């Protein structure tokens, strides 16, 4: 089953908006790629489930370097040790901001005809983690910034 390309745009617009307003960074879009699974490419993956009229997952993927830069901006004054213990919560909340904004934009696309819910983000970290992902056509895109790149994988149907 194919994913509707219209479903990707709210996530890209929301990511750009949140990055600009919250961390003061512009994102530049890379090339859109089609995958068979929403597997992340970077050290940190944030997985958010989408349920309701549209179902699937959105996987945000960041390098650990970018995570630390974002955490430092969102929580200024924290020591490295504090960031080490808090970054998963910080990034989960950051992903919630992006996804919440995307859901508002998504409602505009569906004209309110499809009720959609999001799950609590799951944050996974490591160089060699594996995720058992659904086989679902996925549209992936890298968004580039001076902080690094954010990969967004959208697998919705």
pTM of the model: 0.88
Alpha carbon distance 13, 59 (integer Å)? 15
For the ranges 29-43, 73-87, 116-130, which has the lowest average pLDDT? 116-130
Is it the case that residue 57 has pLDDT exceeding 80? Answer: yes
For the ranges 35-39, 57-61, 130-134, which has the lowest average pLDDT? 130-134
Give the CATH number, domain containing residue 111.
3.40.1550.10
Mean per-residue pLDDT of the chain: 87
* pLDDT of 8: 85
Residue 47, domain extent: 5-156
Compute CA distances 87 → 67, 75, 125, whole Å: 7, 10, 11
Is it the case that residue 1 has pLDDT exceeding 50? Answer: no
Task: Quote the percentage of the chain above a pLDDT of 90.
Answer: 50
The H or E element containing residue 60 is strand 56-62
């Amino acid at each position: 089953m194919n994913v509707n390309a219209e479903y990707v745009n709210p996530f890209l617009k929301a990511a750009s908006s949140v990055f600009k307003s919250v961390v003061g960074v512009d994102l530049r879009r890379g090339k859109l790629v089609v995958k068979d699974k929403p597997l992340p490419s970077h050290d940190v993956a944030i997985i958010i489930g989408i349920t309701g009229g549209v179902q699937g997952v959105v996987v945000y993927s960041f390098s650990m370097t970018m995570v630390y830069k974002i955490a430092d901006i969102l929580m200024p004054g924290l020591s490295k040790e504090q960031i080490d213990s808090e970054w998963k919560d910080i990034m989960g909340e950051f992903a919630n901001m992006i996804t919440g904004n995307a859901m508002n934009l998504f409602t505009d696309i569906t004209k309110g005809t499809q009720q959609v819910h999001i799950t609590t983000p799951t944050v996974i970290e490591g160089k060699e983690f594996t995720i058992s992902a659904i086989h679902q056509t996925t549209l992936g895109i890298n968004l580039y910034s001076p902080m690094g790149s954010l990969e967004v994988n959208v697998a919705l149907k």
